Amino acid sequence: MTGSVILAGAGCGAYDLITLRGLRALRQCTAVVYDALIDARLLDEVPEDAVRICVGKRAGAHSAQQEEIHTILISLAQEGHTVVRLKGGDPFVFGRGGEEITALQKQHIPYTVIPGISSCIAVPELAGIPVTHRQVSRGFHVITAHHAQGTADFRRYAGLEGTLVFLMGLRMLPLIAGGLQEGGMDGATPAAVISDGASTRQQIVRSTLSHIAEDASGLPAPAVVVVGETAGYDFAPTVHMPLEEIRVTVAGTAEFTGRVSDLLTAGGAIVQRVPHIRIVQPAPLPALEGWDHIVLTSRNGAALFIQQLRENHVDLRSLHQSKFAVIGSGTAAVLEEAGIYPELIPPVFTSEALAESIAGSVKPGERVLLLRAENGSEALPRILAEHGITYCDEVLYRTDADLSAVPASVESDYLVFGSASGAAQFFRSGVSVSPATRLVCIGTRTAQTAMQLTKRPVLTALPHTAKGIFEKIKEDYHA
C-alpha cells in the first residue's frame, strides 16, 4: 500500500519554533527526511523505530542532490511509509518544496503541506529588526542570493521600495552591497546581518550598506541580510534571562538531556546536548501480583514500566494491593500521568533515603519488588537487607553508551551529568574538558563518580532534579 509524504516546515533556529501541526506529524511518522539546518532536538520527537535520513542542505557542506531527495521520498512512500520531509523554515520560501511536490505528483504519491515560520521574518524580528514599519517601510521583498541560472544581478533591486531581505546571501554579501549601490541605493542605508538567527548562537552586525560586507566578514552561515531603513531600528527584547550567554553541555540519555536543555535554554543558556546514553529494555516485566510494595528509582524506569503495562494490557486495578515508592518527584510525575499515585517519596531524592523510607513503612511479612536499572546503586538492596525486608531486585532496563556521540573536547562553562554510569562512560571516551568548565551532577552518587574520575570539585543539584540543576548553575554563576 502506498504511503504519503508531509512537507513540513521546521521553522528556523530553535526547535520550539515549529508549529503544533508539524510537531504532531513528527510524532506520528514512520520516516523522516530532514535538512542539516534543523534543530536536532526535533528528531527526539520522532518514534524510535522510524527511518531517519539526513539530506544535508548546509552551505559549504556536502548535501544530497535534489533529484536524489526526490528518489528517497518516492521510494519511502512506495514502501508504505508516512514520510515527513522536514525542511528548514517554510517548505515554499526558497525551500524547493514545489520541485519535490512536482516529483511526487508524477508518481501519484499522496502528499500534504505544513507551513513553517520562515527565517525571512522570524530572524530579523528576533534580532530586533521589523521587516515593515509604517513610517519607513510599508512592504518588504524576500530575495534569494542564488538562482538556478547563477548569480543574480543585484542592481535591479536598488529601486524597490521597502525592506530588502536576502536569504542564503552571506557569501554573496560583497556583490549584494556593491550591486545595490551601483543601482543607485545610498551607501548610508542601514543594513544588518544576522548569523544563526533565532537561536542561542545568534550574532548580529549592524552597519551601513557601504560597510556591511567588511563589518560582517567574520560571521558564519547561515545568515539573513537585511537592507533598508528598518534595519536601523533596534527592537531587541529587553527582558534578560538569568542564564543568558552561559554555555552548558548536558550529557546523558536523550530524555534527560532534552528535559534539562529545555529548562536551561528557556533561561537563556547556550546548550550543547550530548545524548550518549541509550536506554535498552532487556526483559519483560516480572509477575506483579503478590507484591506489597513496588519501587521505581528513575524517570526512565517509570516510563518503561508504564509502557510495558500498556503493551501487555495490564489493568491498573489489578495493582490495587500494591503501594508504590519512588526516588523523587520526577519519577512520581511519570506515574501520575498514568493514574498511579505513589504513596512514598523520600524527603531527599537518593537511594539511601528511599531505602530508609521504605524500611520505615514496610510491615512485617510484606514483600518489596525493586524495578530499576542494571548496576543500580548498591545502597538500596543493602539497606533493605539490613532491615530484614524481603525483596526481589529485578532489572527493568540497562544502558548502552554511544561514545561516538561524545565530542572531542568540551569548552563550555558547565558540564552536566544525570547518572554515575553516564559520567563514567563520558570520560571513558577520552574527551578533553577545559579546566575552566564546572561539573554539575544531579545526585550525590553521580557527583562522587565524577570527582573520582576528574579529581576536580563538583556541584551537586539540590533537589536532585532538572530544576535543581538549573538553580545550582544560576546560583554558582551569580555568586
Q: What is the pLDDT of residues 130-159, one digit of tens each?
A: 999 998 999 999 999 876 555 678 999 999
Tell me, what amino acid is at 269? A
User: Cell digits for 189?
Assistant: 542605508
In the chain, where the domains are located: 4-116, 121-232, 247-279+401-477, 283-397
Which of 104-113, 150-159, 369-378, 392-401: highest mean pLDDT? Answer: 104-113
Q: Read off the pLDDT of residues 11-63 as tens digits, 9 standing for 90 and up.
A: 998 888 999 999 999 999 999 999 988 988 899 899 989 999 999 865 555 56
More confident residue, 151 or 254: 254
Mean pLDDT of 81-85: 98
pLDDT recorded at residue 400: 92
Domain 121-232 has CATH 3.30.950.10: yes
Report the alpha-carbon angle 440-402-52, nearest 5: 115
For 3, phi then psi, to 5°, come to -85, -145
Let me know: does 276 contact 424? Beta carbons within 8 Å: no
Mean pLDDT of 429-448: 94
Question: What pTM, to 2 d.p., does this model score?
Answer: 0.75
Long-range contacts of 68-71 (CB under 8 A, 24+ apart): 69/33, 69/100, 70/99, 70/100, 70/103, 70/104
Q: Which CATH architecture has domain 4-116?
A: 3-Layer(aba) Sandwich (3.40)
What value does the mean pLDDT of the chain take? 93
* Alpha carbon 134 to chain centroid, angstroms: 37
Q: Span 247-279+401-477: which CATH code?
A: 3.40.50.10090
Among the four given CATH numbers 3.30.450.20, 3.20.20.150, 3.40.50.300, 3.40.50.10090, the one describing domain 283-397: 3.40.50.10090
The answer for residues whose C-beta is within 8 angstroms of residue 80's C-beta and 6 or more apart is 1, 2, 3
Mean pLDDT of 351-363: 94
Mean pLDDT of 162-173: 95
Report the C-alpha gap between 140 and 165 in whole angstroms: 7
Return the percentage of the chain with pLDDT > 90, whole number.
Answer: 81
Question: Do 247-279+401-477 and 283-397 have matching folds?
Answer: yes
Return the percentage of the chain with pLDDT > 70, whole number.
Answer: 97
